[in-house]
Amino acid sequence: MNSLIEQRISEPLPRHEVERRWRELAQRLQAIADKTGGDTLIVSASLLEEAKFLASEMAKPNEEPPSYTCPRCGMKSYHRIDIKHRYCGNCHQFEDDNDRAS
């Protein structure tokens, strides 16, 4: 499956995969430059499309992992149990503890 098809049917690539493919593309381009003496770089359309795709993926911000932000103090937790139970370790309260106190 080529990268253009992958781009259209898959989720965004993980950063490490983009970086790996970018290095691979750079090596392929360097090999072409070495063969042509470095004066002229002949690049196929598929390599150019791959370069455009990888450049667009590199420009995307890293996705932030799941988190829970306390509505009282604003502290953010990335711990899966805090997220699941909506618990703030700073306030030592669950989010719905406000409802119980009212």
Q: What is the pLDDT of residues 49-102, one digit of tens each?
A: 777 787 777 767 766 778 899 999 999 998 989 999 999 999 999 988 765 554
Least confident range from 22-26, 38-42, 78-82: namely 38-42
Q: Is the pTM of this model over 0.75?
A: no
What is the structure's pLDDT at 23?
83
- State the DSSP string of 20-79: HHHHHHHHHHHHHHHHTTTT-----HHHHHHHHHHHHHHHSPPPPPP-EE-TTT--EE--
Q: Do the Cβ atoms of 82 and 88 come closer than 8 Å? A: yes
Amino acid identity, position 91: C
Token pair, residue 58, equals: 């590199």
What is the structure's pLDDT at 99?
59
Name the band, by pLDDT with cuts 50, 70 and 90, for residue 5.
very low
